[in-house]
Structure 1
């Protein structure tokens, strides 16, 4: 199955996102019950840590996340297999929401939705496993090395967290990326030998975030 153009596990996850998102579009009560909300989670509704990752604000939000997942998921599945891919996906989703919960722990009104944390974790797993991959973006006429995109994206996420840019959960994106990074290295420690330079480069933004937080410059 994993040798097909798109793996069964990727299809299932995309289908789950589509079904839950469309249910949320049509049913506001359902949407409110399962979105990420700090106050509700602190009252014990832990299911929101997972369910919020399958809800989206609108079709554009859903399509962007699912297209990104489609392009990077099978690079992970083909190297690590379906089970480990699922572990990376859900670990990234939870880690992204945990980081959001940590940074917004006193903002009981704070809410968020979307698979971005999980998808970003998969993207970073793919970059670790295939650091030679190139990314193509419509507004940039040349291919971007995967590791350059990874570092740049995390640095932008830190900037977004620090300056509260846009209605975007930068902390969930960052947390998801870190989740994908850490879990992939745990699952395939040989990367410390085969791709040590890239492993080190992708760790730089994580260290910067830690230093900024410890020095109080991110609060």
Structure 2
């Protein structure tokens, strides 16, 4: 945690500015949110822009608070450029996975930095699997246990379509953070090989379930 890095402050600031613009201007919100129908009509920019919009201040606060907690771990591990890459690639991959699972649902819409933030979180878990996280901010739990458990819950959420939550974007973002961190910090294979394997298990499960037509 500690003192915020400049790049984190910039990303949080951009999210706040764009989100508040969307809160006040519905036409702006509608134009830049992720919507399958709009994407099919050519609004491909929504895959990127929707990641900086939020439904309300609570949605924005939770995402930015999570980013605040884990950004420094990633910046320290792979540098500020690597952090930006993880953030943006995870954002885009999360929305691309949403497209894959909802491409026939013309009215499907989504907003939020959750995919990008999940990418940062999973990057941090790979870099520091020994971290302890607070489940519900109270119960201490090892980072890797949380990571595996949350991805398995996300698969369940995708299958059952639980709540008004973009589970697929969360999963896609986490996968983005996982893959990019392994590329940018190959030393993780040597130092945390067991964690690399364990965190890959839910990804393999998702792939198998999709191939079997279970999602």
Is TM (by shorter chain) over 0.5?
yes
CA deviations over 1:117-157 (Å, ceiling 9, x no partner) = 0000000000000010010134643x110000000000000
Q: How many residues align?
A: 215
Q: CA deviation at 1:217?
A: 1.1
What are structure 2's unaligned runs of at least 5 residues? none
Match of 1:158 among 155, 174, 186: 155
The two structures have a TM-score, normalised by structure 2, of: 0.97
Structure-1 residue corresponding to 2:15: 17
Secondary structure, counterpart of 1:81 in structure 2? helix
Q: CA RMSD in A?
A: 1.2
What are structure 1's unaligned runs of at least 5 residues? none
C-alpha separation in 2, matches of 1:63 and 1:4: 18
Match of 1:100 among 79, 98, 101: 98
State yes or no: 1:210 paired with 2:201: no
Structure-1 residue corresponding to 2:110: 112
CA deviations over 1:146-191 (Å, ceiling 9, x no partner) = 0000000000000000001000000000000000000110111121
C-alpha separation in 2, matches of 1:198 and 1:20: 36
State yes or no: 1:33 paired with 2:40: no
Structure-2 residue corresponding to 1:146: 143
CA deviations over 1:40-79 (Å, ceiling 9, x no partner) = 1122211111110000000000000000000001110112
State yes or no: 1:83 paired with 2:81: yes
Structure-2 residue corresponding to 1:55: 53
C-alpha separation in 1, matches of 2:144 and 2:2: 26
Secondary structure, counterpart of 1:135 in structure 2? strand
